[in-house]
Structure 1
Amino acid sequence: MTTMIIIITAMRMDTVMVMDSAALYRLMTWMSPSYPVGSFSYSHGLEWEVEEGTVNDAGSLTRWLCDIVLIGSGRNDAIFLAHAHGVASRGDDETLGRLADYALAFAGSAERRMETEQQGRAFCEVTCRTWGSPTLDRLRADRSPVIAYPIAVGVAAVDHGMALMPVLEAYVHAFAANLISAGVRLVPLGHSDGQRVTIAIEPAVREAAMDAATGDLSRLASVTIMADIASMKHETQYTRLFRS
């Protein structure tokens, strides 16, 4: 029994966890705020939450983020990414195309769809033009240039030999970090409070990544109804800094 456990653990490390330094370098580059996907211009509905007073300090931002990551759109993005990673690994372009359409249809509001479309388009354009991604090239040619952001990341990650778990953790961390940055500007919070929120959500980021690792689409769901409504309200907000 002990031998079997060791073998299974080793297999999991090989297929899910282990990644060479070149792939890690690319992953850190792609998930960096400096990668030109325009993530800094989206608040994911947070701007309306701040306007209404629902999010007004570090504690309320932490709670809002944990909900988004664990039971909302952040979790769903991670599931889509994991499934895209698995399908691309099998070379199933037909299923990958249907998945790309499904991810766009799953957006909870017009601005959420714009957010994932535009970040996905930017990621595809810069990645295919510079680092290269044959699978992304085929997907864009077969479907359209509009690919949801988590699908694009999952597909390109396979082309560059990136293991699933590090990609999931990096993606969810970048997703949350962008919203923390938005919160620091909107509430506003000091940078120290921003770092305290980053520390506080670490377990949620890890849990969301591990939960999504199977890529089981039957587990897609969201119960963050007020966050979805906030995103819709943002569409008609009188003054705003962010695009969503």
Structure 2
Amino acid sequence: MDVEQLSILNLLQLASPALPVGAYSYSEGIETLVEWGAIADAKSLQHWLERELHFGAIRIEAAMVVRAYNAVAVGNLTDLNYWNSWLSAARETEELRNSSWQMGRSLVRLLLELEPQLESIFNAVGHSANYAIAFGVAAHCWQIPQDAAVLGYLHSWATNLVTAGIKLIPLGQTAGQQILINLQAHIVDATAKILVLTDDELSSCSWGLSLASMAHETQYTRLFRS
């Protein structure tokens, strides 16, 4: 089989909504923002996702995909452990940290069933692998190019949150697909910038996400876990 075609298929599988990691159960604060009226239609949902791609915490997550990928590539498991701990500490709220850990555990469990040789790598990760870290390890194992892995991670994130918005606002499926098309240029631009982020540039402006996530912890009725 052609190596490039195989890497594309591997990326489609890793970034697929069908991947059994429970991403569908999280809205990353969108449920609260809809209740507050801050997100009320397709335009405001798209605006929120655009701002998150350029300035929000998802940039840091995707940067951790890159660092996990690089650590595995050179066999530096100490760095892999460090960046996993760093990302855990950088999570803004308990809900966001728990969602990252839960999805990470699910992906690690799946990968160990499919690729048992990764056990020593995940043992080195330490306590509760974050989803972005496990994604980076999988991308390297499945020979997915680094830029494609980041594109896939961001597109998977956007797809999940657009799906949450469709249910919560609510929106039609066509509107959701139009948002994803409109986000493509932003995903490509964000990927290019994330790939060259230095360690000193690992920062985000995510106070809106933090406030929405903290409020969601005590929201009276909820469809989502974050």
TM-score norm. by structure 2 comes to: 0.95
Superposed structure 1 runs of 4+ greater than 4 Å apart:
none
Match of 2:192 among 187, 191, 210: 210
Match of 2:27 among 5, 24, 43: 43
Separation in 1 of the partners of 2:18 and 2:12?
10
**Aligned ranges 1:21-60 → 2 under 5 Å:** 21-60=5-44
User: Percent of aligned pairs with the same residue?
Assistant: 31
How far residue 144 of structure 1 moved from its aligned partner, in angstroms, is: 3.5
**Aligned ranges 1:111-190 → 2 under 5 Å:** 111-130=95-114, 132=115, 134-135=117-118, 137-144=119-126, 146-190=128-172
Separation in 2 of the partners of 1:215 and 1:120?
23
Contact 1:79/1:217, CA 8 A, preserved across alignment: no
Which amino acid is the alignment partner of residue 57 of structure 2? S
Deviations 1:88-128 (A, max 9, x none): 11110111111111111111110000111011110111112
Match of 1:231 among 205, 210, 213: 213
More deviation in 47-56 or 191-200? 191-200
How far residue 157 of structure 1 moved from its aligned partner, in angstroms, is: 1.3
Match of 2:81 among 75, 81, 97: 97
Deviations 1:60-115 (A, max 9, x none): 00010011111111111111111111121111011111111111111111000011
Match of 2:48 among 49, 64, 68: 64
Measured on the aligned residues, the alpha-carbon RMSD in Å equals 1.6
1:198 equivalent to 2:180? Answer yes
Which amino acid is the alignment partner of residue 183 of structure 2? I
Separation in 2 of the partners of 1:225 and 1:63?
16
Query: Which has the higher Rg, Structure 1 or Structure 2?
Result: 1
1:219 equivalent to 2:201? Answer yes
Contact 1:31/1:171, CA 8 A, preserved across alignment: yes
Which amino acid is the alignment partner of residue 179 of structure 1? L
Contact 2:78/2:124, CA 8 A, preserved across alignment: no
Equivalent residue number for residue 64 of structure 2: 80
Contact 1:121/1:149, CA 8 A, preserved across alignment: yes
Structure 2: 5+ residue stretches without partners = none
Which amino acid is the alignment partner of residue 146 of structure 1? S
Separation in 2 of the partners of 1:117 and 1:164?
22
Contact 1:67/1:224, CA 8 A, preserved across alignment: no
Separation in 1 of the partners of 2:107 and 2:189?
25
Structure 1: 5+ residue stretches without partners = 1-18
Separation in 1 of the partners of 2:134 and 2:199?
17
Separation in 1 of the partners of 2:165 and 2:110?
27
Contact 2:77/2:125, CA 8 A, preserved across alignment: no
TM-score norm. by structure 1 comes to: 0.88
